[in-house]
A and B are shown apart, each in its own frame.
Chain A
Amino acid sequence: MKKVKVDPKGVLTGSHYIDGDYAIAEGGLAAGCRFFAGYPITPSTETAERFSERIPHVGGVFIQMEDELGSIAAMIGAVWGGKKTMTVTSGPGFSLMMENIGLACMMEIPLVIANVQRGGPSTGLPTLTGQQDMMQAKWGSHGDYEIIALSPDSPQECFDLTIEAFNLSETYRVPVFVMTDECVGHMHEKVVIPPAEEIEVVERKWYEGPKDKYLPYKLDKDGIPFMVKAGDGYRFHTTGLTRDERGYPVINAECQSVVVPHLVDKIINNADKIIMLEEDEIDGAEIVVISYGITSRVAIRAVQQARKAGIKVGTLRLKTVWPFPEKRIKQLARKIKAFVVPEINYGQIVLEVERCAAGKAPAFHVPHCGGWVHDPNDILKVIKEAAK
């Protein structure tokens, strides 16, 4: 993994009062994203608007595509053209992108998609919040593969985690999702953007060997293949079909048994390096509240009240949602009485918590069907019940 200083042209150093959507655009620009293909959708559109306004001053391309199928296809093409690329969307657009997210996984494409979630299903609640695409982020495209998903809880984190998303995508050659939501996307807060010299990013894993020896999917020591870009004389081939090291299609079970485990293992085997958690008062806790995004901010209130009522509550905030922190949940399950999982959906991440806890500690869900955040009292009630 080679780290480099960022191009200062993209970095809007200073202290800004902006919303999460804008912060995502600034994070992308700071990370070196110079190609944005998008399609407007509430509540994510402000990111595209911001990018379209800023990119002429930075040098790059913003293109509003005809639909989200086009956006993601153009992004994959742009990566092979040598660019760092991102887009932003919400539920309906995320659904449309799913087939080519699979292509990006198969072709091992570094790219970043921010999903500013709204309430679903279907057109649902265009202007109101939700956290209902969390499972879709992991399972939405067909076949077996792994992706990375992060979940910021503030505009500042929208900026920071978008840069981190680019770094992870380049390190593992995988699509990375910034799974935020309408509340964080439209929340205005102070965002501090550091000077360019202080931001380091992961450089694409460029191949530097002899031209005729290049194999697009030959794994390097770290398990990640090298990349080249079109036009540099490698005359390489790549496909969405199951393929060998040369990138040539090989349609049989044997080749599949190499490709699929690779796509999965390159993420799962590095989960410890990828996963970012924020924990508070976990030692000695009887209850651990697991949450992510806006819900972790709402849960704080419930946690404080529960602590006042004498319940030992710890919190665990998932900054990385996928890969899931399986190990950590397993450890905690052996020590605590119960998990409490509030999320703005009818039970998604709680299923993962349950799976990892494997019966050692129950997971109490605090559902919300979207449109607004939880009433902290609803979370408090469940904490009290879990502590009984």
Chain B
Amino acid sequence: MKKEDRLESKNPMEGFLRMDRIPHIWCPGCGIGTVVTSFTEALKKSKLDLDKVAVVSGIGCTGRVAGYVKLDSFHTTHGRAVPFATGLKLANPDLKVVVFSGDGDIFGIGGNHFIHAARRNMDILIICVNNFNYAMTGGQVAATTPMEANASTAPYGNFEFAFSLPYLAEAAGATYVARWTSLHLRRVTKSIQEALAKPGFSLIEVITPCVTLYARRNRLGDGLNLLKYYYDKSVIEHGADTRTLDISYQGKLVVGKFVDKEKPTFLDRMNEHMTKILGDKYVKYGE
């Protein structure tokens, strides 16, 4: 199939994508498109008013998602999608704000913003495509690259410890945390649906093949081989202790929903607290 047919033949996505921007830039076999499919499926099922859903991306292959979804969509700067989303959400609390970006963008250059948005329980959903590297710039090592894996700036293999994204998210205060691979299309869809319905800071990590860089450099075969690895090595363990979720090179991938709890959001807290302290003098915000 030609690149342009792959998306266009899926008419169901038409209302959700900017068809005038297809063909997209992603490589054949790249997993990002699959995650976008799950996202649009989830939107459809969620019955949300799409006029009230906004997508914010940073920079990277995944960062291009904002350019393809037919929603209010913002392609911002590298690492700053989360604070941008924070401003957008606070300025217009009616919006459901989704950050769709890469592992390098959200957890490398933007890591500080991530932990603070989680701490505040900012009502935004983060969909992080984790392809274990900085793909757009040519496959450099990232904060998520498993130890021993090869990257263009770790030509002798990576010797740094990697972040475990669910562990980091839970520790920082996220109220919904899940991890899947892009092979788990239906599960990803369901998680996105759940997180869209839930106020608060949510992280859905989707481990996704980067066939062109990460896979090639590490001789992991094509997209199919990678999906087979995901299939063979992923174990669903809902509610698993997030301290146990490290990913080793080509090792076991523990996936599932790990955190799903209730906590007032930033705006809930602001309104509650200010009303308590200032009483009638407080001008309630966003209600």
Contacts and interface: CB of A to CB of B under 8 A. Distances in A.
Interface of A: 9, 35, 37, 56-61, 63, 65-67, 69-71, 73-83, 85, 99-100, 103, 229-241, 246, 248-249
A56 B277 CA distance: 10
A179 B91 CA distance: 26
Nearest to A246: B20
B186 to A, nearest CB: 27
B285 A231 contact: no
B90 A231 contact: no
A79 B67 contact: no
Contacts of A56: 274, 278, 281-283
Interface in B64-86: 66-67, 70-77, 79-80, 83-86
Contacts of B83: 37, 65-66, 69-71, 73-74, 77
Contacts of A249: 67, 75
Contacts of B87: 35, 37, 73-79, 81, 85
A65 B110 CA distance: 13
B177 interface: no
Contact of B95 (A9, A75, A230): A230
Contacts of B20: 246, 248
B51 interface: yes
B203 interface: no
Given A60-B285, A74-B86, A81-B87, A103 B76 contact: yes
Contacts of A37: 83, 86-87
Contacts of B52: 231
B73 A237 contact: yes
B261 to A, nearest CB: 23
B90 A67 contact: no
B7 interface: no
Contacts of A238: 73-75
Contacts of B112: 66-67, 70
B164 to A, nearest CB: 21
A74 B84 contact: yes
A233 B86 CA distance: 20
Q: Which 9 A-B pairs have the closest CB atoms?
A: A81-B91, A77-B87, A74-B87, A59-B283, A239-B75, A77-B88, A78-B87, A81-B92, A73-B83
Interface of A is mostly: mixed
A59 B283 CA distance: 5
Contacts of B270: 61
Contact of A57 (B18, B50, B84, B282): B282
29 contacts: A35-B90, A35-B91, A57-B281, A57-B282, A57-B283, A58-B283, A59-B283, A66-B113, A66-B116, A69-B113, A70-B83, A70-B116, A71-B83, A74-B86, A74-B90, A77-B74, A77-B89, A78-B87, A79-B91, A81-B88, A81-B92, A82-B92, A230-B95, A231-B52, A235-B73, A239-B75, A240-B76, A246-B20, A249-B75
Given A59-B283, A60-B285, A100-B80, A231 B72 contact: yes
Contact of B72 (A35, A234, A239): A234
B51 A231 contact: yes
B8 interface: no
A249 B18 CA distance: 13
B76 A73 contact: yes
Interface string B39-73: 00000000000111010100000000011001111
A248 B88 contact: no
Interface residues of B, number: 43
B262 interface: no
A236 B88 contact: no
Nearest to B21: A248
Nearest to B66: A237
Given A70-B86, A78-B88, A237-B74, 17 more contacts: A35-B90, A37-B83, A56-B281, A56-B282, A76-B87, A79-B91, A80-B74, A80-B88, A81-B88, A81-B95, A103-B77, A230-B95, A231-B95, A235-B51, A237-B75, A239-B74, A240-B76
A83 B51 contact: no
B272 to A, nearest CB: 12
A62 to B, nearest CB: 9
Interface string B10-32: 00000000101100000000000
A63 B86 CA distance: 10
B51 A232 contact: yes
A234 B86 CA distance: 20
B4 interface: no
A212 B271 CA distance: 36
A77 B77 CA distance: 12
Given A78-B90, A239-B75, A73 B283 contact: no
- With most chain B CB atoms within 10 A of its CB, the pick from A74, A83, A229 is A74
Nearest to B85: A77
A235 B50 contact: yes
Nearest to A228: B72
A70 B80 contact: yes
Contacts of B91: 35, 61, 77-83, 85
B113 A70 contact: yes
Nearest to B73: A237
Contact of B77 (A35, A58, A59, A99): A99
A69 B90 contact: no
Interface string B243-257: 000000000000000
Contacts of A83: 91
B80 A69 contact: yes
A9 B283 contact: yes
B220 to A, nearest CB: 30
B232 interface: no
Nearest to A234: B72
B126 to A, nearest CB: 14
A35 B283 CA distance: 14
A77 B18 contact: no
B237 interface: no
A73 B72 contact: no
Contacts of B89: 77, 81
Contacts of A85: 87, 91
